[in-house]
Amino acid sequence: MQCLVTILVTGNDKPVDYKTLEEVRGNLLAYYTSQITAHGNYIIALFIGFLTLLSLFNSLPALLTYVLASILFGLLVCISGRTIFYGYLTLIILQVDPKLEMPKDTSITNRLHLDATKEIRAVARSDPPEKSGRLKRYWYKIAINFGTFRFDIMIILFIISLLALVLADPNTRAIILNALNFI
């Protein structure tokens, strides 16, 4: 028994069979999995970079070390958020069916991806009564915020972590306090 799903593919009204739909779903799942693997490798590389920075801590100027550590921290958070996003896409893509409200010139692959993203947004906006549902919604909100590379979030994290590192250092804290007392 073969089931036909009517989906507009590249502007045509030809139906797409179930096998083609599942093949596209499998290709998307493979893509999302490769993104998770790549982002995991990025996290490992950032960790190695952070360890290298720690080993050079005494030989570099303090401010340069703080700036580099802040950049690494911002990248780590953004890449971790992207990893969470692709992780939730791998869960959703297995359940989502393409909707027909898409433009006619949208491919079936793009439709499935957009519908999976819409499903993540819907879960993030939902208001579940139980505690476990609220926790799930929280993680989906994090995932949807990192659906695209968020340079603005990375800059904010950079500034916050730089301030935290600078203020944590007793020498720079004393310099800042003396400067504030001078004013």
* Residue 145, Cβ density class (10 Å: 0-12 exposed, 13-18 middle, ≥19 buried): middle
Residue 45: per-residue pLDDT: 94
Query: Of 137, 133, 99, 103, whose CA–CA distance to 121 is shortest?
Result: 137
Residue 116: per-residue pLDDT: 85
Please check whether residue 168 is in contact with residue 145, taking contact to mean a CB–CB distance below 8 angstroms. no
**Is 4 part of a structural domain of the chain?**
no
**Residue 64 belongs to domain spanning:** 17-138+150-177
Half-sphere exposure of 58 (CA within 13 A, CB side): 1
**Is 3 part of a structural domain of the chain?**
no
Residue 31: per-residue pLDDT: 92
* Residues composing the chain: 183
Q: What is d(CA 107, CA 11) in angstroms, rounded to the nearest whole number?
A: 8
Residue 12: per-residue pLDDT: 46
Residue 5: per-residue pLDDT: 40
Q: What is d(CA 72, CA 54) in angstroms, rounded to the nearest whole number?
A: 12
Q: Which residues are CB-neighbours of 123 under 8 A, at least 6 positions away?
A: 136, 137, 140
Please check whether residue 28 is in contact with residue 15, taking contact to mean a CB–CB distance below 8 angstroms. no
Cα separations (Å) of 165 from 30, 68, 137, 158, 180? 40, 11, 32, 10, 18
**Is 113 part of a structural domain of the chain?**
yes
Name the domain count of the chain. Answer: 1
pTM of the predicted model, to two decimals?
Answer: 0.72
Residue 144: per-residue pLDDT: 78
| Mean pLDDT for back-to-back runs of 10 residues, the chain (183 residues) | 40 62 88 93 92 84 82 86 88 77 70 84 74 73 76 82 79 72 67
